[in-house]
Chains A and B, each alone.
Chain A
Amino acid sequence: MCGLAHFFEDEGIATVVVALVREHAEAIRAPRALWVPFELGRPLGAPNEAAFQRKVLTAALELLDPSEGPVVLRDFPEDAPGPKAEEATNWVCPVSFPASDLEGPEAPAAALAREIDALAPWYQVSLDERGRTRVGVSSMGVPEAAQFVAGFLDQEPASRPVPDQPVSLALKDASADLMSFYFEAATAQPGRKSSGEVERWFWTGTTAGQVLKDVRLKCLDSADDKVKFVAAKLMLPKTMGG
């Protein structure tokens, strides 16, 4: 990010970096950077907080005023509104899942399909309320993506579900769509929730999370180096042991 600022300024365009990791902004010495004390993934602070987002942008653009420089690193003085990532708000998913039985070769795929069926009405609520979905990266439907991922527990697929796409990428994209589906369905109801709660729910309280963790472990031994790379680096957050 800060590297891009160097290149753009060198080409004659003024820049401001909204920096999430202060130590990186300091080290790279972007021409102008506004460090914001927000969680990774939220450079403007919080969703659906238009006034706050605008305050961040105004602070960033103020660095373009010709008062100082080169190299300006300023700290944005406010925390983002809403719960912190690690805060407990007592949020719960609107669907209570029965304990799933992942024993046996057929069980994970079937349990996953049941869970997706249970969440589907809430995914529809999310679609109706939000008017959009972020599902769609994989070009597979959610049930198909789920079965594709769960299939790795049995045998690594030799064929790819999407033409011209390696199995490794299909695994990454199908996993991403599965997570988007779960997150959107589970957070369809308005109300306070922290990103950490939703993340912990997915990885420790759902069959999907368990299937992804099991698939990851299996793929760490894959003969396909790209599948192994996806498993090692791109499937499980470090907060969950990845």
Chain B
Amino acid sequence: MVRLADLVESEQAHLRALPLPTYETTPWVAGPPGPERRVALVTTAGLNLRGEQPFRMGAGADYRVIPAMTDGADILMNHVSVNFDRTGFQDDVNVVLPLDRLKEMAVDGEIGSVAAYHYSFMGATDPAMLEPKARELAGMLKGDGVNAVILTPV
């Protein structure tokens, strides 16, 4: 797992049929040296904080903010798809949003620091719809001093 050939046929067909975006160029920013990295997590797992407005169908371009000091117990998953495992997330939020691991790496000096804020989009959304919010988010990330982003899907 997970090459498409490992999935049940209907799931394979679904993933093969997904329209994938193409880009004429690939932008490339040189990665900062390890000790200078201020790292943020951005996930498409459809996470939101307990009590916060969940994601809604058709509003997939929206995002939610997850402050670094958030207790993992307060993070819920509101993703529309039922075609991936949720039991791992129910046991440990770090299997989707490895905030605790990132904090440990900062303490150990493997990265410079952890961003003050992390973000979640709803996956299963046309990337073109995400572009305006992603560019808006880039400004917020830079405002937080972030120079490296790890993106996690589900």
List A residues at the B interface (Cβ < 8 Å).
Answer: 1-24, 27-29, 31-32, 37-48, 50, 53-54, 56-58, 60-61, 63-66, 69-71, 84-85, 130-134, 136-137, 168-169, 172-173, 176, 179-180, 183-184, 187, 195, 198-199, 226, 229, 233-239, 242
Contact = CB atoms under 8 A, between A and B. Distances in A.
A18 B86 contact: no
A234 B82 contact: yes
Given A1-B151, A31-B27, A238-B83, A44 B96 contact: yes
A172 B90 contact: no
5 contacts: A6-B27, A9-B27, A11-B139, A40-B2, A57-B150
Interface string B81-99: 1111111111110111010
A61 B26 contact: no
Contacts of A16: 148-151
Given A13-B138, A32-B31, 7 more contacts: A8-B42, A9-B27, A38-B2, A41-B89, A53-B101, A61-B110, A61-B150
Contacts of A130: 91
Contacts, number: 271
Interface residues of B, number: 83
A14 B32 contact: yes
B15 interface: yes
B116 to A, nearest CB: 15
B82 A43 contact: no
B15 to A, nearest CB: 6
Contact of A132 (B15, B16, B73, B147): B73
A238 B56 contact: no
Contact of B85 (A12, A39, A64, A136): A39
